[in-house]
Amino acid sequence: MSESRPRSAAELNEQIRALMVCSGGRLTGPQRAEYQSLLEQWAAAVRRSAVRPEPPRVPGPRRGVADRTAVG
């Protein structure tokens, strides 16, 4: 079954940690393959989050401008 969206680095990290806890830190061959796959997915998720552009900033009123003009 494939998922509709890539999993986040946090979700993948949680899965990696759960795998290590369940195995007691000693991975079998199949677990090692699963770990490697999860690690590659996690690295890809980290790269995706690092290159995601920031949303455009909407200029707003400057703070303190109104306060300076209302002195009197």
Q: What is the pTM of this model?
A: 0.64
Residue 69, pLDDT > 70, answer no
Q: What is the DSSP string of 5-53?
A: SPPPHHHHHHHHHHHHHHHTT---HHHHHHHHHHHHHHHHHHHHHHHPP
- Looking at residue 68, what is its pLDDT? 56
**41, 7 in Cβ contact below 8 A?**
yes
Residue 31, pLDDT > 80, answer yes
